[in-house]
Amino acid sequence: MTEPNCFTPGPLLAGRRAVVTGGAAGIGAAVARAFAAHGAHVLVADIEPMTQCTFDSSAGGSITRLEWDVRTACPDGLVEHRPDVLVNNVGHFVQPPHTFAANSPALWDELHEINFAHVLRLTHALLPGMTERRRGSIINLTTVEAHRAIPGHAVYSGYKAALTGFTRSLSAEIGPSGVRVNAIAPDLVETPQVPYEDIVPHEDRHLWPTWSPLCGPGQPDDVAGVALFLASDLSRFVTGGTIHVDGGTHATGGWFPRRSGGWTNRPRNP
Ligand SMILES: NC(=O)c1ccc[n+]([C@@H]2O[C@H](COP(=O)([O-])OP(=O)(O)OC[C@H]3O[C@@H](n4cnc5c(N)ncnc54)[C@H](O)[C@@H]3O)[C@@H](O)[C@H]2O)c1
Domain count, the chain: 1
Range of the domain at 184: 11-264
Q: What is the CATH number of the domain that holds 163?
A: 3.40.50.720
Task: State the amino acid at position 49 in one-letter form.
Answer: P
In a domain, 65, yes or no: yes
In a domain, 3, yes or no: no
Task: Determine contact, residues 118/162, Cβ cutoff 8 Å.
Answer: no
In a domain, 270, yes or no: no
Residue 217 CB coordination number (10 Å):
21
Q: What is the pLDDT of residue 255?
A: 87
In a domain, 5, yes or no: no
Residues of the chain with pLDDT under 70: 1-5, 270
> Closest Cα to residue 219, out of 90, 52, 63?
52
In a domain, 95, yes or no: yes
In a domain, 45, yes or no: yes
Cα torsion 195, 197, 203, 208: sign: positive
Question: pTM of the full predicted structure?
Answer: 0.96
pLDDT in tens, 127-169: 999 999 999 999 999 999 999 999 999 999 999 999 999 999 9
Active site residue 159: no
**Which residue is catalytic, options 35, 55, 116, 156?**
156
Q: What is the pLDDT of residue 229?
A: 98
Centre of ligand 1 to C-alpha 27, Å, is 7
Task: Determine contact, residues 170/123, Cβ cutoff 8 Å.
Answer: yes
In a domain, 269, yes or no: no
Percent residues over pLDDT 90 in the chain: 87
Task: Determine contact, residues 39/31, Cβ cutoff 8 Å.
Answer: no
Kindly state if the Cβ of 157 falls inside 6 Å of ligand 1.
no
In a domain, 50, yes or no: yes
Dihedral over alpha carbons 231, 134, 68, 244 (to 10 degrees) = -30
